[in-house]
Each structure stands twice: as C-alpha cells, then as structure tokens.
Amino acid sequence: MVEKVIIIGSGPAGYTAAIYAARDDLDPLLIRGFQAGGQLMLTSEVENFPGFPSILGPELMDKMYDHIKGIKCRSIDDDVTKVDLNVYPYKVYAGDKVYETKSIIIASGASAKWLGLDNEKRLIGKGVSGCAVCDGPFFKNKDVVVVGGGDSAMEDASYITKFVKSVTLIHRKDSFRASKTMQDRVLSNQKIKVIYNTVVEDVLGQERISGVKIRNLKTGETQNLKTEGLFIAIGHTPNTKLFEGQLDLDKDGYIVMHDFTKTSREGVFAAGDVQDRKYKQAVIAAGWGSMAAMDARKFLSEPKD
C-alpha cells in the first residue's frame, strides 16, 4: 500500500497537519514517535493558545491527540529511523516496517539545547525553562537567571524584564556573540546584571528551583546564587538529522523553505519549529501545519508525468 501522505512528528504542527489532511480525505498516517507531543510536553502552563486561557502543555497535547483519534487518521508511536527521498514513492522507515508514500509532511520540531545537568532535567517545568516567551509571565516580581550569550539569550533577558524583579545573565565567555543592537539593549537595561566567564554547575532545589551553583572559569571560584527561575537560552537543534544530504538545510540544520511549506524535494513539506528558527510558538507551528497539509493536497491533486 502506498500512502498518500505521511506526517512525521506530533507537536502542534504535526497534529494540525493531520487534522487538515484527514478533512481532505487524504487518509494520513501520523508517525508520532515515542516521545510524542513536542516541546509543549516540557512546558508547564500555556496561556497564549486560543481557546485555552490557561492549560498545561501536556494537557493541550493530549487534547490535540484526542482530536486526532476522533477523525480519519491513523497514528503509530514508533520513531522514524530512516527516510529515503531518492526513490519515489518515498520510503519512511519506522519500527520494523517500511512505508511508501506519495508525499511527506515533516513536523519533527526542534529540541532546546540544555546544560546537561541532572537537576536541570529534574526541575524542568518547576522553575527551569527553555522558553522565556512561554513561561516568562509566570515569574512576576521574581529574581531569575538567564544562561547564554547569543541573540536568543539577549531577547529572552530583555523580554522577561517586563515581568520579573531582576535578571542575572550568565555567559561562559568574556563577551557576547549577539548582535551589537541586542547587546546594547541588554547592557542598558537596569534590571539586568551580567556575569561573564561563568558557568552553571548545578541547579538547586527539591520541589522547585531555589538557586544555581555557578563557577567562574578564570578563578575557579564557586558560589550559590539564589533564584526562582532559570531560563536556558543557548539555542535549539532542529530534528533534521534524518534528512541530511536529502533536503536543503541551512548551516544550523533547519530545513530551507522554497515557496511557503515546500522543501527542496517535490512532494515533501515542512511545518513548525523544524523550519522556523525565529518564532517557536505553538500557535504558529499549528498554522504551518495547516498550510503544509493544504500544500500536500494540492500536490497530490496535480497530474503527474
């Protein structure tokens, strides 16, 4: 059996693509992966998704999946291990099976880069966050820490000053790699204190974060810094390893788009954080998912030579 469309990924982009594809009678196959739900599974409360004044990230993903189960869409929870775009129909390998398909929608998302600390992982959603735009408003009048030195860190630090009492920006080097405009914005903000040449060695706290242990890389001196929030802003990694050498990717691994959701391969579309390096919001990813499904429908309806 050759599928009409296979959707890879199960965050807002993948789920929305599945809904639109099912409504167009494309009988989509959604390959969710073992860790279904995307980055919202690591988010606590969501207050900026239309229709839900306040909802937990995992609960929102569960509701999207419930929607999928109620429509004409098949889903499997295997991880995709290989994709062959050099043959047509395309081949998608998941679990112990090989699926052939006329089109693919890639919605595999991007993963936030973390510091790699055990307590950091344990306290994600309990004061530790990889998304300032998502979680910043929950830290009103609190003292927080941001880690990073690029534009993302500058943007996050500047953004959350609207809510928090103070921001301590920790960077491992003695200068930022961010653009001068972003640096100037941060360095002129009286709410932001910068600590250079320093790394976070541990995250402190039991039920919630209570502080961080930091170490100066030049002197070796360590100290515990009290904080009620830790925002990791050292970048994201798009989940595109499967497509290296088969699709156009930029220097950071994001899928290069050709005319809205179209990739460099005919009949292969991309939606959400896997190609969006700027916004990284659930509602925007969902919008990309709907567009990808509509573009896939158009592709499938066109006569092939």
Q: Tokens for 19?
A: 């809904």
In which domain, by residue range, is 158 found? 114-232
Q: Are residues 102 and 129 in the same domain?
A: no
pLDDT band for position 216 (cuts 50, 70, 90): very high
Of 78, 79, 84, 131, which is the active-site residue? 131
Confidence band of 42 (pLDDT split at 50, 70, 90): low
Per-residue burial over 120-129, b = 16 or more CB atoms within 10 Å of its CB, e = otherwise: beebbbebbb
Residues 183 and 257 in one domain: no
Is residue 131 among the annotated active site residues?
A: yes
pLDDT digits (tens, 9 = 90+) for 142-187: 999 999 998 889 989 999 999 999 999 999 999 998 889 989 999 9
Residues 195 and 121 in one domain: yes
Q: Verify whether residue 134 is a known catalytic residue.
A: yes
pLDDT in tens, 264-274: 999 999 999 99
Q: Of 210, 232, 254, which closes a domain?
A: 232
Q: Say if residue 107 is in the same domain as residue 118.
A: no
299 phi and psi angles, rounded to 5 deg: -60, -45
Instruction: Verify that 35 and 97 share a domain, yes or no.
Output: yes
Q: Is the pLDDT of residue 16 over 90?
A: yes
* Pair 107, 190 in one domain: no
| Domain end among 192, 216, 232 | 232
Identified catalytic residue from 24, 73, 134, 295: 134
The reply to whether 136 and 202 lie within a common domain is yes
The reply to whether 35 and 141 lie within a common domain is no
Q: What is the mean pLDDT of the chain?
A: 94
* Same-domain status, 149 and 60: no
Residues 118, 255: one domain? no
> Per the structure, how many domains does the chain have?
2
Q: Could you tell me the pTM of the whole model?
A: 0.81
Answer whether the bond into residue 89 is a cis peptide, omega within 30°.
Answer: yes
Q: Active-site residue among 24, 135, 276, 295? A: 135
Same structural domain, 211 and 228: yes
**Domain's final residue, options 181, 199, 232:** 232
User: Does position 254 have pLDDT exceeding 70, yes or no?
Assistant: yes
Known active-site residue 79: no
124 with 222, same domain: the answer is yes
pLDDT in tens, 122-147: 999 999 998 888 889 999 999 999 99
What is the CATH number for 291?
3.50.50.60
Contact 270, 261 (CB under 8 A): yes
